Amino acid sequence: MNLEKHIKWVIYNYPTLYRADTYEESRIFVLGHIFLSYGTGYEWHPDGFLADLYNNYKFNQIMDELPDGYFDKLLYTMGIYAEDVKRVPDGLKNRFHYFVDRMNRTLYCIFEAENKDDARRVIYEYGYKHFELGKANRYKDNDIKIEMESIKKTEDVFSGVFAQEAHATRESRRFHKPYYYVPNNMCKYSPIVEMINGETNSPHIENFKFTHFDPEWLQGAIDIVEYSLLFYEDPEKCELDSYHPVNRGYDKDITEEKKWEFWKTYKIEQMEKLTKFLTIFKN
């Protein structure tokens, strides 16, 4: 499966998770999810690449090109009730929009808006708040004037509850800018670590031993490893890591010295894995 086409598909279908200011930045978010995380649903294929596996490998999760100007658009997302899907396109025909399926009963509409007030009007007309006993609780079907007024007063409430600006506030709930990718905590099940060890717990690989990796996917792994090393070498970016003492919650009896000792140990362990990977795989 073509890696770059898969990355474009992921960005397009999950913009609130992966769409950054440029394709290059967005690509890093996707590569981090694929190679550094674990429990993602990706499984190794015998041909040396990773693919979403739900009963069978999904090879159709690819996209040739993203729409023109995709990263310049101010996008929002809203849940759509199944019965309303046919009427939504008519209402949004004059603005960029598309639908994505989350493999459950929820269908999401990604749409362009001029600003947050414009997005509120669209969501009020077509979106739903949540399901109650199998029925959609539409915004339009409820008296939400008071709620909308309170939402206008608090941007965080607007971003987290009523609508999400995919360009700025993602589902991870990180509100800092600029929005850097923070490397995941790697463990023995992370694909990067499996590649280092030369074996995997995936039953789809004969004898659980790797024989080769697809060159394009290997380069993608090298790219995210190099990015992660640069991240850990930057003290300012490191403060964005949830394991950093400025972010991590500790028991009150943990001293500042112990907090920094933990961070130093964690950082060294992560960088050792990353460095070992490059030693093995980068010519």
Nearest to 96 by CA among 110, 80, 108, 106: 110
* Strand ranges of the sheet holding 75-80, from the earlier edge strand across to the other edge: 97-101, 107-112, 75-80, 164-165
Please give the pLDDT value at position 141: 62
Residue 183 and residue 36: Cα distance in Å, rounded? 7
Residue 91 and residue 78: Cα distance in Å, rounded? 14
Please give the pLDDT value at position 241: 87
Provide the total of helices (H) and of strands (E) in the chain, helices listed first: 11, 9
Please give the pLDDT value at position 158: 37
List the chain domain ranges.
Answer: 3-64+176-281, 74-165
Instruction: Say if residue 148's pLDDT is above 90.
Output: no
Instruction: Say if residue 131's pLDDT is above 60.
Output: no
Main-chain phi, psi angles of 42, to 5 degrees: -80, 140
Instruction: Say if residue 121's pLDDT is above 50.
Output: yes
Instruction: Say if residue 170's pLDDT is above 80.
Output: no
What is the reported pTM? 0.83
Please give the pLDDT value at position 83: 73
The residue with greater pLDDT, 88 or 161, is: 88
Residue 172 and residue 280: Cα distance in Å, rounded? 32
Q: What percent of the chain clears pLDDT 70, i.e. is strictly above it?
A: 78
Q: Which residue(s) pair with 135 in the sheet? A: 132
Residue 17 and residue 281: Cα distance in Å, rounded? 29
Instruction: Say if residue 27's pLDDT is above 90.
Output: yes
Residue 85 carries which side chain, given as an amino acid letter? V
The residue with greater pLDDT, 51 or 251, is: 51
